[in-house]
Structure 1
Amino acid sequence: MKMRDVLLGALIGAGAAMVATSMTTCKKSAIPPEKALKSVKEAVKNSYAVKGSWIHMKTDSINKFDVPFTVYSGGLTCEKEGRLEQMDFMVDANTGTIVELQKQ
């Protein structure tokens, strides 16, 4: 076997490994639900005093404005002007961005 054949085989193998690695790292993975909940609480802290919160540990798939999202859903108990209010939210599971926030 010639050295050229060995080098060509090694080069092809390395190229295939690089392509496989880049394809797996490009796929977005969900952030932990605790981190998503923390981002929601940070976003509302200037308007509301958060007294309690919860989040579903599994993601859901939704379409909002004909755009597919993978989201965590949850809720907050907030105090504003001495009154407690319940709020539901959906947060993007990949970025932590609030997709929906509404009072009950």
Structure 2
Amino acid sequence: MMNWKSFILGATVGVIGGYAVKEIISTKSVVSPEKVLDHVRKQFKQNGPISGSWIHMKTEPYEKQQIHYHVYKGGISKVNNGENEQYEFIADASTGTLLDVRELRKAQEPVY
């Protein structure tokens, strides 16, 4: 004969466990901004030393080629041939993968 207390306890644990697993799976995991910045810095260091870097700590929505992402935005500074170069980057918050990098151009000095 089945013990009803054991059955109810087992069913309750199963329902609570299932709910917890559902919640864990449904929440999208993100890579920490520190890890993303470290990854980007390593990528840039392959082409020489960097002099500075930064990253926004909050993710924001981003669309590229009709695909929607949550991303971190940040920047890297490098000195190349005595010239300071600055780059902005966009990285996927769920994987840390670089999605876009662009060099910031200096404004031209006015000619008088």
Band the TM-score falls in, shorter-chain normalisation: 0.7 to 0.9
Counterpart for residue 15 of structure 1: 14
Counterpart for residue 51 of structure 2: 51
Q: What number of residue pairs does the alignment pair up?
A: 103
SS of residue in 2 equivalent to 1:35: helix
- Which amino acid is 2:51 matched to? K
Q: How does 1:1-104 map to 2 (within 5 A)?
A: 4-26=3-25, 27-104=27-104
Q: Give the % identical residues.
A: 31
- Which amino acid is 1:15 matched to? G
Shift of 1:3: 5.2
- Which amino acid is 1:16 matched to? V
- Which amino acid is 1:92 matched to? D
Deviations 1:51-91 (A, max 9, x none): 11111111101111222111110111112344321100011
Shift of 1:18: 1.8
Backbone CA RMSD of aligned residues: 1.8
Instruction: Give the structure-2-normalised TM-score.
Output: 0.79
Structure 1 stretches of 4+ with a deviation exceeding 3 A read: none
Q: Which runs of 5+ in 1 are unaligned?
A: none
Instruction: Give the structure-1-normalised TM-score.
Output: 0.84
